[in-house]
Amino acid sequence: MKLVLYNLFPDRLNLYGDRGNVIVLQKRCEWRGIQLEVVDIKSPDCLDFSRVDLIFIGGGSDREQGLVTKELLKIKHEFKACIDDGVGCLAICGGYQLLGNYYVTSDGTPIMGLDVCDFYSEAQKNRMVGNVVIYTPDSGQLVGFENHSGRTFHRYEPLGKVIKGYGNNGEDGWEGLCYKNLIGSYLHGPLLPKNPLLADRIIGAALDRKYGKKDLLPLDDRLEFEAHSIAEEICLRTSV
């Protein structure tokens, strides 16, 4: 079995080691005998949505986010059709924000979004920074790190309920967004190394779409869960 992952603009969108998410997906596929071809996309001209199974979009500064969005606006309709067709996507922080209608920077500058989903984000002066623990119904508790001035507001299914931290906006108690096989989240760290169940959820959904229901072989995740437990303990015993 083979899956193809497009890593969008990794030279611009790679805050806080976000590329580690791609490495995790690649290794967890490899350990199961699944080939995951990772293609670094640095121009929309290189995008062939007919062959992609997974898309990763990392976080970036407001400047980098604006530059990338201008490039992706050239293929916004194809991108949305791809997501609507069930192609898997993990979008982190700035990558999450650019999938909405618009993002307003801290100086009031609007950045057009890709309109993949109907939501918006607005930056405020006070940043939301710290370790995060959230509860998800499908992947248990997730741990990560957030550092964002943007507040995101939407009516989609959230990724999870905030136990500790700020989440989407520091107000409604939710973190992230789920739409079909798209997952948006503010959790850096990177997210997937300490949350193997979420990584497998993403892989499993891509396999289901391409090959039908496939059971993933279990892996020895003792180190991953130990890292998860330590991060969770540290987060829960510190104040926001």
Tell me the pLDDT tens digit for each residue of 47-70: 899 999 999 999 877 777 778 888
Measured between alpha carbons, how far is 26 from 29 in angstroms, rounded to an integer? 5
Q: How far apart are CA 44 and CA 58, in angstroms?
A: 16
The catalytic residue among 29, 148, 154, 188 is 188
201 CB neighbour count, 10 Å cutoff: 18
Q: Does 193 sit behind a cis peptide bond, omega within 30 degrees of 0 on the bond before it? A: no
Q: Which residues contact 62 (CB under 8 A, 6 or more apart)?
A: 94, 105, 106, 109, 111, 123
DSSP H/E element including 142: strand 140-153
**pLDDT score, position 12:** 80
> What CATH code is carried by the domain that includes residue 179?
3.40.50.880
- What is the rounded CA–CA span in Å between residue 175 and residue 235? 16
pTM of the model: 0.95
**pLDDT confidence of residue 240:** 55
Would the annotation count 127 as a binding residue? yes
118: left (phi over 0), alpha (psi -120 to 50) or beta: beta
Blockwise average pLDDT, block size 10, the chain, 240 residues: 95 84 98 97 90 93 80 92 97 94 90 95 94 95 95 98 97 97 95 97 97 92 96 84
Do residues 192 and 20 touch, judged by C-beta distance below 8 A?
A: yes
Exposed (0-12), middle (13-18) or buried (19+): which is 100, by Cβ within 10 Å? buried
The letter for the amino acid at 140 is: G
Active-site residue identified among 93, 117, 148, 154: 93
Spatial distance between the Cα atoms of 65 and 34, rounded to a whole number of angstroms? 32
With tokens 């990560």, the residue in question is 144
Radius of gyration of the chain (CA): 17
Provide the pLDDT for residue 224: 96
Q: What is the pLDDT of residue 107?
A: 87
Domain span including residue 43:
2-236
Identify whether 154 is a catalytic site residue. no
Whether the CB-CB separation of 59 and 15 falls below 8 Å is answered with: yes
Identify the pLDDT of residue 99. Answer: 95
Number of domains into which the chain is organized? 1
For 107-112, the CB contacts below 8 A with 24+ separation are 109/62, 111/62, 111/65, 111/66, 111/69, 112/69, 112/73
Is residue 188 part of the annotated active site? The answer reads: yes
| pLDDT score of 116 | 96
